[in-house]
Amino acid sequence: MKLAWWKILCIVLLVYTVIGGLLLSVPRLPILNESIRNLYFHVPMWFGMLAIMFMSVVYSIRYLQKSDPKLDDFAVSAAHTGILFGLLGLATGMAWARYTWGDWWVNDPKLNGAAIGMLIYSAYVVLRNSLEDEQQRARISAIYNIFAFSTLVPLLFILPRLTDSLHPGNGGNPGFSSYDLDNKMRLVFYPAVIGWMLLGVWITQVSYRVKAWQRRREEVGTTKAVVHSR
């Protein structure tokens, strides 16, 4: 099977990210030291999560306009991928916190906001599984999806800037751009962001195709049942 060009690009960028992220030189900064390499994984995963979550919201809005089950399937697939990336972002963030802040979890507004955001999206999954009627499930979860994304952005980007935060670029702390004056890390960071985003789209596409196959199988089963009943 021939891969699309963007899938090949995704593989190339992620391989480059792993190799370059582990082997290329990085700035020697106090406290961060070699752990700064996690910037190539932790931050791009969050960017990928936000891009996929935004895509999910767009398809939820389109479903509310057109009531096409395929749009709902894609919105759900994107939301599940976004949750996966969010959990990976939390895991890499906890590992980074352990080696820079001395503990796996600290009372930081951005960490707490990220955890709350993932709990809100976990409730989205629970909500869908608790409703049996397909149209009702799709419509209610689409509305909730819009609410979830509208709360995620303030939790990650607005509230941490209004309070004290250990994260770079928040709470009065300088961002990485002011540290990395030689731009070495940009050579890996930007390809990493693109690569993780493409991977998110790829995973979403595969998940959507699985849902589409399951839907067709259910439709065929329903058709056969109607024929046999006659």
Global pTM value: 0.86
Give the pair of three-digit tokens for residue 225: 């049942």
pLDDT, mean over the chain: 86
CA separation (Å) from 56 to 9, 72, 135, 141, 170?
Answer: 23, 9, 17, 11, 27
Residues 42-75 pLDDT 10s: 989 999 999 999 999 999 999 999 999 999 999 9
| Dist. CA 159–CA 164, nearest whole Å | 10
Report mean pLDDT in 10-residue bins for the chain, 230 residues: 88 95 82 83 92 96 94 95 94 87 85 91 92 91 95 86 67 51 78 96 95 80 58
Residue (of 23, 24, 27) closest to 179 by Cα position: 27
| 3-state SS, residue 185 | coil
CA separation (Å) from 153 to 25, 31, 81, 106, 146?
Answer: 33, 28, 17, 21, 11
CA separation (Å) from 65 to 7, 68, 139, 140, 204?
Answer: 31, 9, 10, 13, 22
Give the pair of three-digit tokens for residue 41: 């994984």
Q: What is the pLDDT of residue 72?
A: 94
Residues 101-114 pLDDT 10s: 888 888 888 888 99
